[in-house]
Amino acid sequence: MSTTPFEKTPGWLDWYAGPAKPRFVLPPGSVDAHCHVFGPGAEFPYAPERKYTPCDASKRQLFALRDHLGFARNVVVQATCHGADNRAMVDACLASAGRARGVATVRRSITDAELQQLHTAGVRGVRFNFVKRLVDFTPKDELMEIAARVAELGWHVVIYFEAVDLPELWDFFTALPTTVVVDHMGRPNVTQPVDGPEFSLFLRFMAEHENVWSKVSCPERLSVSGPRALNGEQAAYRDVVPFARTVVERFPDRVLWGTDWPHPNLKDHMPDDGLLVDFIPHIAPTPELQRKLLVDNPMRLYWPEET
C-alpha cells in the first residue's frame, strides 16, 4: 500500500466499501455518466488551489464498482480537488479500454495541441463550476472563450451551480454555443414545491433551450428528509423523487444519470451505491425511460460514433 502525502479534510466521509448488489437490473450497456477519481494523491497530487482534500478513490476502485453495479461504461468528471490538472481523469480514461470518457477542467492558457490530446484520451466536455464552496470565480469571458474553442471539437459544457444562482447566470448559460449539461438538476431546494417558482424556472430553462440537458443525479446530496440509501432501504430519498421524475418524464431524451461516486463533501452519511442504483426506477419508471436515461442519451453524447 502506498501512503498518501495528503491529510483529508476534517470530517471527511470515505466512500462506502462493500455496496449491495442492486435489485434493479441495469439495461445492457448502461453508462454511469457522472463519477470521479481522486488521485491517488501519491501518484496524482491534489491541486494547491483545492477547497477540500478527499480520501483516495482510484480508477481501479471505480472500475470495480462499475462491474459490481452492472454498468458497462463511465463518464469521469474532473473533480475540483484536482483543479485544472486532468492527469488522474485522463489516466482513468486511457486505462479503461474505451469504456470511460471524460469531462475536463481547462484554463484559457491551454493550447490547441493540449486540447487535442485530451480529445484523443476520450475527453468530450469541459466543466464550468459556479458553486462557491468548491472553486474560485473564473471570469465569464474566459469561460466563453473556452466554450467557443471546445465547440469546434464537438464537445459540450457541463455546468454546476446552485438553484438560487440560476437567474443571475441565465444569460451566460443561454449564450453558450454547445450542448449544456446541468449537474444534479441545478441543485433544487427539495423542501420547496416541485411546481414552485424555483424549480419552475429550471424547467423553463430546459423547455426553452433544447441544447440543455440535466443529470438527474445526487439524491443523497439534495434530500432533506431521506430516508438514506443504507441498510437495504428500497425507497430512499423520497423527497427528491418528484423533482427527478418530472425532469425525466418531460425531457426523456436529455437526461443522464450517474452515481457521483466517490461522493465528495457529503456531510451526514455516505450512501450505499447499490441502493442508489435502486433509486433509478423510482425516477424513470418505464423500461423505455430507463433505456434512454442510462444507455441512449449518454451514448449519443459521449460515444456518438457507436450510435
Ligand X SMILES: O=C(O)c1cc(C(=O)O)oc(=O)c1
Q: Return residues touching ligand X (CB under 6 A).
A: 79-81, 134, 183, 221, 260, 264-265
∠ CA 16-18-22 to the nearest 5 degrees?
95
DSSP state string for 238-253: TTTHHHHHHHHHH-TT
**Which residues belong to the active site?**
260
Q: How far apart are CA 228 and CA 204, in angstroms?
A: 30
User: C-beta of 8: minimal distance to ligand X in Å?
Assistant: 14
Please give the Cα distance from 63 to 73 (Å, whole number). 9
Q: Closer to ligand X at the Cβ: 183 or 273?
A: 183
What is the rounded (10 degree) CA torsion for 231, 233, 234, 235? -170
DSSP code of residue 186: G
- Taking the complex as a whole, the smallest distance from the CB of residue 221 to ligand X amounts, in Å, to 6
For 17-44, give one letter per residue: b (16+ CB within 10 A) or e. eebbebebebbebbbbbbbbbbbbbeeb
Give the whole-angstrom CA distance, residue 170 versus residue 293.
Answer: 25
Residue 258 has phi, psi (to 5 degrees) of: -150, 160
Nearer to ligand X, 162 or 249 (CB): 162
Closest separation between CB of residue 229 and ligand X, Å?
17
**Of 74 and 80, CB closest to ligand X:** 80
- Between residues 165 and 195, which has the closer beta carbon with respect to ligand X? 165
Smallest distance from the beta carbon of 217 to ligand X, in angstroms?
A: 8
Report the nearest approach of ligand X to the CB of residue 54 (Å): 8
Nearer to ligand X, 85 or 183 (CB): 183
CA dihedral 243, 246, 249, 251 (to 10 degrees): -90
